[in-house]
């Protein structure tokens, strides 16, 4: 008994607990959300900075001083969580239906307007300027805008793609486990059928 208990104890000690918070990818996500420098697979990624000035006719970013742009970026970085940041940005985007639709042109269903708060002041900007002020890409802004059209809370889908490399050892193990379970179910069903048939004949 003592030997078996010692063996079980040693097996339990060998099992490592899954500590997701210590994963490098999770740490990098946290650093990225805070706008800090981090090291990815393809090398070092610099800290988040205000993007380039927009190319729209209004020249949106000329309405902001360097101090104001820095403050907007710092406030955004201080949120420190990707999903919370998306929710914050979603609240700054206004959606409205398209009233007039031209024929022969791509049918746009919604119009999006973007605003930025600086103290009590609220300024409207274009999408590119909105992305630049928060140090993010326009793709992220488009995804957040799209989630607003279906009244959904923007989620964090980073790293949840399905184009991962296949682990054939794990795949084979899962396949053999499935076959083993199916085989036992068949044996159990056959054994039960034979038992019931024997009881029926005896009666």
Domain edges within the chain: 1-47, 48-149, 165-203
107 vs 114, more confident? 114
* 38 pLDDT tier (thresholds 50, 70, 90): confident
> Could you report the per-residue pLDDT of 66-110, keeping only the tens digit for each?
999 999 999 999 998 888 999 999 999 998 887 766 665 656 788
Average model confidence (pLDDT) across the chain: 79
Whether 9 shows a pLDDT value over 70: the answer reads no
**Sequence-ordered strand ranges (E) for 101-154:** 110-118, 121-125
Number of residues written out for the chain: 203
Retrieve residue 107's tokens.
Answer: 């049918």
User: Rounded to two decimals, what is the model's pTM?
Assistant: 0.62
């Amino acid at each position: 008994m003592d030997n078996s208990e010692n063996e079980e104890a040693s097996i339990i000690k060998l099992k490592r607990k899954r500590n997701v918070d210590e994963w490098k990818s999770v740490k990098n996500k946290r650093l990225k959300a805070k706008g800090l420098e981090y090291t990815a697979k393809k090398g070092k990624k610099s800290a988040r900075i205000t993007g380039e000035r927009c190319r729209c006719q209004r020249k949106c970013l000329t309405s902001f001083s360097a101090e104001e742009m820095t403050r907007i970026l710092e406030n955004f970085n201080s949120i420190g969580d990707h999903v919370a940041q998306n929710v914050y940005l979603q609240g700054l985007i206004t959606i409205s239906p398209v009233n007039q639709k031209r024929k022969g042109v791509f049918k746009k269903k919604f119009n999006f307007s973007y605003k930025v708060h600086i103290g009590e002041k609220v300024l409207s900007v274009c999408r590119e300027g909105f992305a630049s002020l928060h140090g993010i890409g326009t793709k992220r802004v488009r995804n957040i805008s799209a989630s607003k059209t279906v009244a959904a809370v923007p989620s964090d889908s980073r790293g949840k793609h399905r184009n991962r490399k296949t682990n054939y050892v794990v795949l084979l193990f899962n396949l053999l486990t499935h076959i083993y379970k199916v085989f036992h179910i068949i044996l159990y069903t056959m054994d039960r059928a034979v038992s019931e048939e024997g009881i029926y004949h005896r009666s």
